[in-house]
Amino acid sequence: MKRIGYGVQFWRCVARAAILRRKPKHLEALRAIAYLCLAQHEAARAALADDGARSEAGISAAIARASAETLAGLFPAETTVIRAMLGATRDTSSGTGDPDAALRGEALGAQAASRTSDFALPQPSEFVEAE
């Protein structure tokens, strides 16, 4: 389960890097971190509650997908970089764990990000300007 903690921290570093590059207002930056944490929490809860994803591979995949989707929604100009990082996390974790659990986890992560964005994410023009 140590890998899950590293994954959470990795995506928080990605968020901080996007904040440094895009320079949103202070409260917007705090909101971005809060929404990321909420999406990660919801993804982990969903994976733990699902028999098909209740493994390290499933939970990690859920958190990674929820993180990437949330950050892409908050920082649209960073979408290409964020998607590349999601692909890289898939590449480094392939061959470790259960691939079916990882696929199920990704689906749960996408749903968690969607639920979070339904009530949390502003329109991109309200948050940071897309380039």
CB 28 within 8 A of CB 128: yes
Domain assignment of residue 75, yes or no: yes
Domain assignment of residue 117, yes or no: yes
Q: How far apart are CA 110 and CA 86, in angstroms?
A: 12
Mean pLDDT of 7-22: 94
For the chain, what percent of residues have pLDDT higher than 70? Answer: 83
Domain assignment of residue 45, yes or no: yes
Range of the domain at 24: 2-121
**pLDDT class of 128 with cuts at 50, 70, 90:** low
Number of domains in the chain: 1
Domain assignment of residue 102, yes or no: yes
pLDDT at 105: 94
Domain assignment of residue 127, yes or no: no
Number of H helices, E strands in the chain: 6, 0
Lowest mean pLDDT across 10-14, 57-61, 73-77, 119-123: 119-123
pLDDT at 1: 57
Domain assignment of residue 110, yes or no: yes
Domain assignment of residue 126, yes or no: no
